[in-house]
Structure 1
Amino acid sequence: MAPDLSPLWISLKTSLLATFITFFLGIAAAYWMLGYRGKAKSLIEGIFVAPLILPPTVVGFLLLMFFGKNGPVGKLMQPFDFSIVFTWYGAAIAATVVSFPLMYKTALGAFEQIDSNLLRVARTLGATESTIFWRISLPLALPGILAATTLAFARALGEFGATLMLAGNIPGQTQTIPMAIYFAVEAGAMDEAWFWSIVIMAISLSGIIAVNFWQESREQGRRGHREKRGRGQTPAEESSVLPKLSSTVGLIIDIEKQLPSFHLKVAFNSDEQTLGLLGGSGAGKSMILRCIAGIETPTKGRIILNGKVLFDSEKRINLPSRDRRIGFLVQNYALFPHMTVAQNIAFGLPKGLSNGSIRVQVEEQLLAMQLQGLGDRYPHQLSGGQQQRVALARALASQPEALLLDEPFSALDTHLRSQLEQQMTETLADYRGVSLFVTHNMEEAYRVCPNLLVLEHGGAVQYGSKHEIFEHPTTVGVARITGCKNFSVAQLVRSGLIEASDWGCHLQVMDTIPNNISHVGIRAHHISFTKDPNQENTFPCWLARTSETPHRMTLFLKLHSAANNPQDYHLQAEVFKEKWATIKDQPFPWYLRLDPLRLILME
């Protein structure tokens, strides 16, 4: 006699329906919870995952109380003479409820693993939230969502306790495979129990194995491409294709933002000349860019770009990122990994263009950035330098009124950084908009930016041309950020003379001495050596230790007497190795001179 296969069809029917429902409900709930910041987040999360931790019989009992004839849903259905209890619909509902937490939690994990910079950059490129979901979040989370779907299906297929409570065990109507196994064992029909156990294991495992195989094949393909990718090309010699903006260009910033670690409070203006934001980690550089781009919201203040108010706390204006026309180049470039180079660049183009116009503009950007022939490649097939140029091309394609560059060279090696720095300088020179360049590298800032804003602990400490800031830093902090290594507490003795108490000497100075002078400094490469001990600001010194770089020697020197240990020194001097070769064998004391024109007087 042929076996009764109704449990198989009932299980497949209920499991597929449950998976279909949980697929949409789970993704929607996960994406909503990803951005939800309300006080009820923990409570909602607990409700969503409760079926995963409660005993299935308890879940079934609660469903029975809800859908039964005395339950709220049951009473609503009585006039229609329809009941969910003890029907295959009940089995599907039970399977949906118990499989939903797996779908929800796995999909949530997939969404959380997406680099948040990708979403932020997409907003600055003018993408709406729906566009971001369909074109970025969903495609990137798809592997995790497929895994979640497989797990949800397997959980729905294996559901027993809740189904038994709500739908019962009616052969041919609600008897699923798990119930067929249970009652076969109870009746002593072990062959039948084995048969259904093998069937349910085969169905569940085949789905999981298939998804794992697909994910492994996908990752192997990516690894193969990474191993084959070529070296980065040289930067473009041509100037970039850049938008022409109005002659009235300017950025006005006056904002405050209270953060857990410090209070950001800055006010400055910027025009077409590139402004470098220079400061150490935690100074607030990147936070300023994020506020301008609309990624973060200042506590109060205003941001105005080319006469358009982007943010004003008093007037309650806060334009979303997509409406600000800001090009944002983040440290890791945030290229969309599932899109080709051409698709990445096209993402930043204005909406409504024809396919032909899109192709033309993408090709222009590829040509300008020396990326010809790479349009069909994916980001993981590119070198770091190529990735940076694609990100820059994408930002410029959106025709931004301001270009924000957040440490764009930090992920590159020294040689590639030098090459791309030259191209970046040329690009910014041709760009007809406001550009802000964030860095903590003083030499990089000096080469790229005509003007600098030096930041410390969330505040601006000096603002001006790079020449003014490097030649005349006003505070010890600014001097240290710009590379000065030698400082001493200073007091005014008389006009033209100060005492450097930490160095144990008096110094003649040429600059006007501030009334509130606090420190004097001198850069290591400005210290010179002489054989004439009678020159002004010349002192005997002894060598405490040395430090070697490929081209220079750093000498740690103590004034007036020999050093007691390698840490006993007053000043650091830097000399080329050719100079070092001429002085290293000379007897002590040596004589160093602190040029009055090179001394830095700080308030």
Structure 2
Amino acid sequence: MPDDLTPLWISLKTAIAATCFAFLLGIGVARWMMTYRGRARGVIDGVLTLPLVLPPTVVGFFLLLLFGKNSPVGQFLDQLGISIIFTWAATVIAATIVAFPLMYKTTLGAFEQVDQTLLSSARTLGATEWRIFWQVLLPLAYPGVLAGTILAFARALGEFGATLMVGGSIPGVTQTIPIAIFFAAEAGRMGVALAWVLLMVAISLVVIVGINYGDGGRSPLRMRPNPLIVRWFNWVFFGGRNHSGTEDTERRDTSHSIHPFTHSPIHPTELRVKITKQIPGFQLRVKFRTDEQPLGLLGASGSGKSMTLRCIAGLETPSTGKIVLNGRVLFDAEKAINVPSRDRKVGLVFQNYALFPHLTVAQNIAFGMQQIPKPQRVPEVMRYLAMMHLEGLGDRYPHQLSGGQQQRVALARALAIQPDILLLDEPLSALDAYLRSQVERLLIEVLEQYRGVTLFITHKLEEAYRICHSLMVLNGGEIAAEGTREDIFEHPPTFQVARVTECKNFSAAVPIGETHVEATDWGCKLEVIDPVPPDASFVGIRAHHILFLRGTRLSNTFPSWLAMISETQHRVTLYLKLHSPPESAQDYHLQAEVYREKWELMCDRPFPWNVRLDPVRLIVMTR
């Protein structure tokens, strides 16, 4: 056994001090690098991680050049009566330099694994970047931060080369365990060296076990925070009060509550948007105006729907243009106005809900209630729980809820900030048919009471038709059509708009008269009701508008044969070929949809079947 245990205490206090410095520097630099997107990012990252790959003696040599008495820094410190080289401070500096890259890279990786949607959600709820860091980012990334801290401690504890060069081997001052091992072995005291080695191995095993227990293989998205974190958030959100949501909300005193659907009466409820933004593949260029009637945004994936919402919410910055909400300018490129997302009073419901996984349902709803005094937050949260039929679920975590319950929590959280505008980004897409129907009915009920602007993104026409009074169709970043839901559905102006609104039957068309076109793909001439525009290039009809007749006296009636069918529990889709029998199941012209009852009545009829393409229902479109 060693006669003197001072190397152990020097090593421990050096490693602890170096870990503290590496912890603070690593977290700060990792947070900055997480958001930095400049061209020098790769170079900066390389410099920060360089001590991880350089030999420790090289690091020690650079420290000698930096702090030596002949260097500018050394001379300045000497004038102050401070000496760094061959002191314990030099040992700490050397250990910090070599431990920092492990702390930095591990923390940066942990930060980058946190879903960025959660940070965006916190911004729309009014949180500052500092609050987001402490209450969202750090709690979610803490397993990785803890692992980085332990790795940094282990690296600092085992540092040898750089420490020896700048700190020397002064017994009782700078002689750490690795240096003691080196000199004991060099002096032939192999037993002493072995004892120090076994001690280092034991400490290293403790570090490895600490990493495993610190992370535990848990995903941050499903973790339940420890009691200290729970108490911290309860104090932040509720002043330590209970928020389980099990109390009878009707007996609570809500006389001081703020109604969730009020807005400033000074200006009319109105959103005006005129922006452009370059997106990979195309340029977003939208200009529209809407009021408190819900506006549905339709379009194929990548058409610019979500980007439009993110620009309104302040999560993305347009290249040019202006956004005005209820008379308040949120963005004006010419005047360099860009109100931060946290100050826009925008309630954004994300497609994946973006609930904070480390917070309870009640804490999620209360996250944006910073302007409400803490004593009033509990009754406010209770009211939103009751409004969304979530009574008794206040203390549950998101992963303990069904998809429909999570969606209702996300909606309650967005409404709880009393937003001037509610942005719904495909809020029903992740739900099954039953839950979708339930949440959709609740959403319609809520929007009937809400008096702010509402934008609703969906790729399902039926959802938009039931929820929204007006529709806007985006295609390739530009507005292809806008108007009432009836106009968009009955009279889509272009082929792209008709396809987005779920029309399934199209044919290239050639105008042959004021009210007639030739459907070249269907091999027939068709009469239409409205005058045919000279640039018409397509004709279409919706699947449920195709009629089956006994006779052929009416116009636009043609013989057809069945190529194949596709069935659901309620409807049957018939794939029909006009004029002649099909040669294969894929040889068809039209898709017709009929209810199962009608199908059972007509399925035994002999072919050909007479189908009519009603002139009133035909849609003539441009490209």
Matches within 5 A, 1:71-470: 71-216=71-216, 222=222, 242-247=260-265, 248-351=268-371, 353-470=372-489
**Residue of structure 2 equivalent to 1:518:** 537
Q: Is the contact between residue 221 and residue 358 of structure 2 (CA under 8 Å) also seen in structure 1?
A: no
One-letter amino acid of the counterpart of residue 539, structure 2: V
In structure 2, C-alpha distance between the alignment counterparts of 1:208 and 1:367, rounded to whole Å: 47
Shift of 1:493: 2.1
1:566–1:80: structure 2 CA closer, same or farther, 3 Å change rule?
same
Q: CA deviation digits over 1:413-472, x for unaligned, max 9? A: 111111101101111111000000011111111111111001111011110111111111
Which has the higher mean CA deviation after the structures are superposed, 5-14 or 505-514?
Answer: 505-514
What are structure 1's unaligned runs of at least 5 residues?
226-235
1:91-136 Cα shifts (integer Å, max 9, x gaps): 1111000000001101111111111111111111111111111211
- Over 3 Å counting, the alpha-carbon distance change for 1:567 and 1:217 in structure 2 is closer
| Deviation of the 1:217 alpha carbon | 8.6
Contact 1:525 / 1:574 at 8 angstroms: preserved in 2?
A: yes
Contact preservation (8 Å) 1:90, 1:166: yes
SS in 1 for 2:409: helix
Residues 432 and 317 (structure 1), Cα distance of their counterparts in 2 relative to 1, 3 Å cut: same
Cα distance change on mapping 1:331 and 1:30 into 2, 3 Å: same
| Separation (CA, whole Å) in 2 of partners of 1:145 and 1:203 | 20
Report the Cα offset of residue 218 of structure 1: 6.3
Name the counterpart of 1:550.
569
User: Residues 110 and 384 from structure 1, CA distance in 2 versus in 1: closer, same or farther, beyond 3 angstroms?
Assistant: same
Aligned partner of residue 412 in structure 1, secondary structure: coil
Residue 576 (structure 1) shift: 2.1
Number of residue pairs aligned between Structure 1 and Structure 2:
590
When residues 439 and 325 of structure 1 are mapped into structure 2, their CA distance, relative to the original with a 3 A threshold, is same
Match 2:505 to one of 486, 490, 502: 486
Write the distance in 2 (CA, Å) between the matches of 1:93 and 1:223. 36
C-alpha deviation, 1:253, in angstroms: 0.7
For the Cα contact (< 8 Å) 2:557–2:611, is it kept in 1? yes
Deviation at 1:221, TM superposition (A): 12
Whether the 8 Å CA contact 2:2–2:192 is kept in 1: the answer is: no
* Structure 1 counterpart of 2:128, one-letter code: T
1:3 equivalent in structure 2? 3
Give a deviation string over 1:251-272, Cα, whole Å, max 9, x none.
Answer: 0011111112111101111101
- What is the TM-score when the length of structure 2 is the normalising length? 0.91
Q: For structure 1, which segment, 507-516 or 375-384, has the greater mean C-alpha deviation from structure 2 after superposition?
A: 507-516
Q: 1:134 to 1:481 in 2, by over 3 A?
A: same
Contact 1:406 1:438 in 2 (8 A): yes
Moved more, 3-12 or 138-147: 138-147
Report the aligned-residue RMSD: 2.1
Displacement of 1:566? 2.1
The CA distance in 1 between the partners of 2:370 and 2:78, in whole Å, is: 56
Aligned to 1:231: none
Q: Which residue of 1 aligns with 2:585?
A: 566
Q: What secondary structure, in the 3-state scheme, does the structure 2 residue paired with 1:494 have?
A: coil
Q: Distance in 1 between matches of 2:392 and 2:572?
A: 46
8 Å CA contact 1:489, 1:502 repeated in 2: yes
TM-score, length-scaled by structure 1: 0.94
Check whether the contact 2:140–2:220 (CA below 8 A) recurs between aligned residues: no
AA partner of residue 409 (structure 2): V
Say if 1:385 and 1:412, in contact at 8 Å, map to a contact too: yes
Structure 2: stretches of 5+ with no match in the other structure: 226-248, 250-257
Deviations 1:246-297 (A, max 9, x none): 4510000111111121111011111011000001100100000000000001
1:151 maps to amino acid: L
Aligned-partner SS, 2:66: helix
Distance 1:501 1:148 in 2: 67
Aligned 8 A contact 1:241 1:365 in 2: no
**Equivalent-residue separation in structure 2 for 1:11 and 1:342 (angstroms):** 46
State the distance in 2 between where 1:221 and 1:466 align. Answer: 39
User: Within 2, Cα distance between the matches of 1:159 and 1:421?
Assistant: 61
In the alignment, is the contact (CA less than 8 A) between 2:2 and 2:195 conserved in 1? no
SS of residue matched to 2:393:
coil
Mapped partners of 1:563, 1:115: distance in 2: 51
Instruction: Provide the rounded CA distance (Å) in 1 between the counterparts of 2:2 and 2:393.
Output: 61
Label 1:45 to 1:214 Cα distance change in 2 as closer, same or farther (>3 A).
Answer: closer
Pair 115,8 (structure 1): closer, same or farther in 2 beyond 3 Å: same
Q: What one-letter code is carried by the residue in structure 1 that aligns with 2:65?
A: M
Q: Is the 8 A contact 1:241 1:364 kept in 2?
A: no
> 2:554 maps to what in 1?
535
- Counterpart CA distance in 1 for 2:512 and 2:98 is 83
Q: Quote how far apart the aligned CAs of 1:497 are.
A: 2.3
Secondary structure class of the residue paired with 1:130: helix
